[in-house]
């Protein structure tokens, strides 16, 4: 199976930066994903890394180090609407097809 | 604006009853996933289909759960008989795996069905 660890909760101030770390242990690694989920809503795709390095998408960036089994999601210029849970997910090769395993999620609370 | 739709949005039922949840994937998507989310377990994959064929249902309790895709526009998840521990939000997601790619990179989630089994 896969072990995916991320902090349960983080608090940050509007306009600031927050970094959400995710560590994983898996065999057959085939990509790392970040999803955002507002309370009571469905997860929505944020980013995807399969190679080492940083992927930037507007205010959000995601970093991957495969050798360390480590990723982070960086949220810049925080806005109140960024208050949500952020789910780290690992995709692995499977004979039957690739599948995602999600971490428990990090609840981010943005304060004024 | 193409979206995954799910019905019902909320379902309250009594233990032992049959529950059927439906999902309409985004038109043209060829891969459909069923997930279950609880506070304790987080988001777990139950089953997924490609081109209507089941690829992996190892996350699904086989004795009471069944998943099917009668056609390309409908996926169903059935629980019979339901138990209180099945109470959760059930999400359907769809994606498009192109012939030129090995996998899909983005899954589009439906709004979920909140199931409460009393």
Taking residue A106's Cβ as centre, other Cβ atoms within 10 Å add up to 20
What span, in angstroms and rounded, lies between the C-alpha atoms of A22 and A15? 23
Judge: B55–A97 Cβ closer than 8 Å, yes or no.
Answer: yes
What span, in angstroms and rounded, lies between the C-alpha atoms of B38 and B89? 7
Strand pairing report for A9-13 and A106-111: parallel
Q: Cβ of B12 under 8 Å from any chain A Cβ? A: no
pLDDT for B104 beyond 90: no
Interface-testing mutation among B23, B34, B42, B96, with chain A (most A C-beta atoms within 10 A): B42
Band (A30; pLDDT cuts 50, 70, 90): confident
Judge: B42–A31 Cβ closer than 8 Å, yes or no.
Answer: no
Segment B49-95, tens digit of pLDDT = 988 888 888 889 889 999 999 999 999 999 999 999 999 999 999 99
| pLDDT computed for residue A56 by the predictor | 93
Q: Cβ of B53 under 8 Å from any chain A Cβ? A: no
Proportion of chain A above pLDDT 90, given as a percent: 81
pLDDT for B28 beyond 80: yes
Instruction: Give the nearest chain B residue to A36 (CA atoms).
Output: B109
What span, in angstroms and rounded, lies between the C-alpha atoms of B79 and A48? 33
Tell me which chain A residues have a C-beta less than 8 angstroms from the C-beta of B56: 94, 96-97, 99
| pLDDT computed for residue B101 by the predictor | 58
């Amino acid at each position: 199976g896969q072990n995916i660890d991320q902090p349960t909760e983080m608090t940050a101030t509007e306009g600031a930066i927050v970094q959400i770390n995710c560590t994983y242990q898996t065999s057959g690694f085939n990509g790392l994903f970040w999803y955002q989920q507002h309370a009571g809503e469905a997860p929505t795709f944020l980013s995807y890394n399969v190679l080492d390095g940083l992927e930037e998408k507007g205010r959000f960036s995601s970093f991957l180090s495969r050798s360390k089994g480590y990723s982070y999601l960086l949220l810049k210029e925080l806005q109140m609407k960024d208050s949500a849970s952020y789910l780290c997910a690992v995709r692995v090769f499977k004979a039957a097809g690739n599948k995602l395993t999600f971490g428990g999620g990090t609840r981010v609370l943005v304060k004024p | 604006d193409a979206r995954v739709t799910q019905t019902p949005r909320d379902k309250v039922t009594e233990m032992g009853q049959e529950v059927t949840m439906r999902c309409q994937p985004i038109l043209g998507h060829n891969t459909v996933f069923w997930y279950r989310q609880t506070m304790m377990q987080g988001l777990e994959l139950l089953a997924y289909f490609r081109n209507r064929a089941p690829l992996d249902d190892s996350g699904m309790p086989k004795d009471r759960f069944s998943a099917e895709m009668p056609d390309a526009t409908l996926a169903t998840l059935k629980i019979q008989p339901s138990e209180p521990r099945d109470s959760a939000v059930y999400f359907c997601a769809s994606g498009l795996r192109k012939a030129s790619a090995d996998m899909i990179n983005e899954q589009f989630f439906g709004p979920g069905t909140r199931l409460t089994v009393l």
